[in-house]
């Protein structure tokens, strides 16, 4: 059978949604007789009645209701496919609103976004650097860069880079107060507290949070790092703060067996079946750009 199996689908959906042949014909820009003919052929092909017809309106049969749901999904999928193919050649343009944590954004993300804009002059970007997790839908944001472990399952996530936490201290601090050899010994040490006094650790493969204490606190990763380098206490910070100091010997990594499993840097965006070119291409660009950073060279 060589007949077009798609023939009549659009006409059927239009009639079902308009509840009239005339209104469906106006929507599609064709004649009522064309609509009627296509629907009749479709019913004949399916060997089932799709509509109950009256002089004023048509209503769906049970078979028609089931068929409509599938046909609407087919139409949506067809449009999605057309948009996806068209976007392959589309350049990012318009406004892109995004958010990222302050320190990581300033050091890693904003420079990459700025270079990305240079490639696409029709693109405008609004970046909100904030350590408060912003609601993407409520704030009308296209993209968020988040660090660590993800909480919001409503969002789609793409892993951009690894992220490892290190517990460390300076040699001068360890000379004065000794090196901790077990988790229980942390309570004897001055712990530099950042945005939280809960440190992520693991024991026997199980990750957990341990509350620490100390005489110093500041909600700035850079400030915590500076205090650790001066020998004020122990710190727990992400790799990008401490790797160069671990390599130089200015900091010493501690309790490596109890460090939490690798977390990650994530690109998050609202659930959509089709991602806009500006978001899709920027996410790819960020992933490639971060992979070239010295901090991630060995990851």
Q: Say what the pLDDT of residue 235 is.
A: 97
Strands 143-148 and 94-100: parallel
Domains and CATH numbers, the chain: 9-85 (1.10.10.10), 94-163+263-298 (3.40.190.10), 165-258 (3.40.190.290)
Say if CB 35 and CB 23 are below 8 A apart. Answer: no
Q: Say what the pLDDT of residue 1 is.
A: 40
Say if CB 200 and CB 262 are below 8 A apart. Answer: no
Considering 47-56, 85-94, 124-133, 164-173, the range whose residues carry the highest mean pLDDT is: 164-173
Q: Say what the pLDDT of residue 85 is.
A: 64
Name, in order, each residue with C-beta under 8 angstroms of 14's C-beta and a sequence gap of 6 or more: 24, 25, 27, 28, 35
Whats the size of the chain, residue-wise?
A: 299
| pLDDT digits 0-9 by tens, 23-51 | 999 999 999 999 999 999 999 999 999 99
Nearest to 160 by CA among 93, 97, 113: 113
| pLDDT digits 0-9 by tens, 149-190 | 777 667 888 999 999 999 999 999 999 999 999 999 999 999
Provide the CA 79 distance to its chain's centre, in angstroms.
Answer: 24
Say if CB 229 and CB 170 are below 8 A apart. Answer: yes
Question: What does the block give as tokens for 224?
Answer: 């915590």
87 pLDDT more than 70? no
The string of DSSP codes covering 110-175 is: HHHHHHHHHH-TTEEEEEEE-SS---TTTTT-SEEEEEES---TTEEEEEEEEE-EEEEE-HHHHH
State if pTM tops 0.75. Answer: no
| 123 bridge partner residues | 94
* Max CA distance (Å), the chain: 95
Instruction: Report the C-alpha gap between 144 and 104 in whole angstroms.
Output: 12
Question: What does the block give as tokens for 122?
Answer: 């029709």
Say if CB 173 and CB 288 are below 8 A apart. Answer: no
Rounded mean pLDDT of the chain? 89
Cα dihedral 82→88→93→94 (10° resolution): 30
């Amino acid at each position: 059978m060589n007949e077009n199996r798609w023939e009549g689908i659009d006409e059927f959906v239009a009639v079902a949604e308009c509840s009239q042949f005339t209104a469906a014909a106006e929507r599609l820009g064709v004649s009522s007789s064309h609509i009627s003919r296509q629907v009749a052929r479709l019913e004949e092909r399916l060997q089932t009645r799709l509509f109950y017809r009256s002089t004023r309106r048509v209503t769906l049969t049970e078979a028609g209701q089931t068929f409509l749901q599938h046909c609407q999904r087919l139409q949506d999928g067809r449009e999605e496919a057309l948009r996806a193919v068209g976007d392959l050649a589309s350049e990012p343009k318009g406004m892109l609103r995004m958010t990222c944590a302050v320190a990581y954004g300033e050091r890693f993300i904003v420079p990459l976004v700025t270079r990305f804009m240079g490639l696409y002059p029709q693109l405008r970007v609004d970046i909100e650097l904030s350590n408060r997790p912003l609601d993407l839908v409520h704030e009308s944001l296209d993209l968020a860069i988040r660090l660590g472990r993800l909480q919001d399952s409503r969002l789609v996530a793409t892993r951009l880079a690894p992220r490892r936490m290190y517990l460390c201290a300076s040699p001068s601090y360890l000379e004065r107060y000794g090196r901790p050899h077990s988790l229980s010994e942390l309570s004897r040490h001055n712990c530099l507290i950042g945005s939280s006094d809960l440190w992520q650790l693991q024991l026997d493969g199980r990750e957990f949070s341990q509350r620490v204490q100390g005489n110093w606190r500041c909600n700035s990763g850079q400030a915590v790092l500076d205090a650790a380098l001066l020998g004020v206490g122990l710190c727990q910070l992400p790799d990008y703060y401490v790797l160069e100091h671990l390599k130089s010997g200015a900091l010493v990594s501690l309790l490596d067996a109890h460090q939490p499993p690798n977390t990650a840097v994530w690109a998050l965006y609202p659930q959509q079946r089709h991602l806009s070119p500006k978001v899709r291409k920027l996410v790819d660009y960020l992933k490639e750009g971060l992979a070239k950073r010295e901090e991630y060279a060995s990851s």
